[in-house]
Structure 1
Amino acid sequence: MEFNPPISDRETDELIRIANFPDNWNPLAVEQAKRELAIRNVPIDYENKKVSVLTRYDQKKNQIAAKRRAKEAFEWHDFIFGFHHVLLEMLCDWDMKKDGYITKHRQRKYTLSVISILILAIYVYWNFIK
């Protein structure tokens, strides 16, 4: 299987990351990365030293991504230009909070509450007042 870019063209640090974090990569890519590291004569102790640095780097990258997801919100122009997308996301994506989209979850909760109150008010007006 050929990858883009090819495994042999990648930097040594990326090959180490592929070889030491196999859960994040295609198994064939992991095998090719290990073979390429052996061809480049990268010593095992070098890999072990790099793993701790890469682990901290990946943890920091995941923390930053989680903070970014937590602050992501629906904007006013999303409701105007992409209403069908926002509506589908609000009605169908019930795992927003689990996925880390805290602000979007809160916005969905308030929006659905307001829509429910409006529908109830229209129903009451239509059936009892009119």
Structure 2
Amino acid sequence: MTEFKPPMSDRETEELIEIANCTDEDIWQREATLQAKKELIKRNISQEQQNEVIERWNKEAEEYLKKEAERLEKNKTESYEKWEMVVLFLFGPILFIRPYLFNSHTLFTLRGENYFLKFKQRIIIFGLSFIAWFFYINYSFQQSEKKRLEEIDKIDISDWKKKHGYE
């Protein structure tokens, strides 16, 4: 007989009921289900009591699934707050590369959690953010280049020209 850890005699009654009534042999070995059934018999737990526990679990599972369906339905129309949109816009490229930096969702998790409106908003905000950052960086580069060329033009090189024979 295989000895399981923890032993069947040390396990909670509900855990034994779960093991004994498991139909999938990939989860529990056949020997484990048999030992659990024997332990339930030792504890005087009838099949009727086991069925009551299983029925309670089924009701809890149905309630959970119902609440989860309601939550997913509610998520469809949830929108970002204005301040969240501003943060997404300002830090869009950073959040695109490192989405968990501000405990933010990724596009994939938004889609998986049924946040359709947030998903669309995020794509639009990121697109606008990338465009704005591109123009800002391009403008900054052009300004620094213009300033550099102005400084070069201000330099008096007449002495250098005379010394090297350009005048």
Kept in 1, the 8 Å contact 2:8–2:36? The answer is yes
Considering fraction of residues, name the structure with more helix.
Answer: 1
- TM-score normalized by structure 1? 0.53
Aligned Cα root-mean-square deviation (Å): 4.4
Letter paired with 2:39: I
Identical aligned residues as a percent: 22
> Which SS does the other structure have where 2:106 is aligned?
helix
Are positions 1:107 and 2:121 aligned together?
Answer: no
Task: Give the corresponding residue for 1:86.
Answer: 100
Unaligned runs of 5+ in 1: none
List, as ranges, runs of 4+ consecutive aligned residues in structure 1 with deviation greater than 6 Å: 72-75
Kept in 2, the 8 Å contact 1:7–1:33? The answer is no
- Matched positions, count: 116
> Which SS does the other structure have where 1:40 is aligned?
helix
Letter paired with 1:114: I
Alignment of 1:1-130 (within 5 A): 7-22=8-23, 26-28=27-29, 31-41=31-41, 42-65=45-68, 67=70, 83=95, 84-86=98-100, 90-91=106-107, 93=108, 96-97=110-111, 99=112, 101-103=113-115, 105-120=116-131
- TM-score normalized by structure 2? 0.44
Q: State the distance in 2 between where 1:118 and 1:48 align.
A: 57
Larger gyration radius, structure 1 or structure 2: 2
Higher relative contact order (CA 8 A, sep 6+): 1
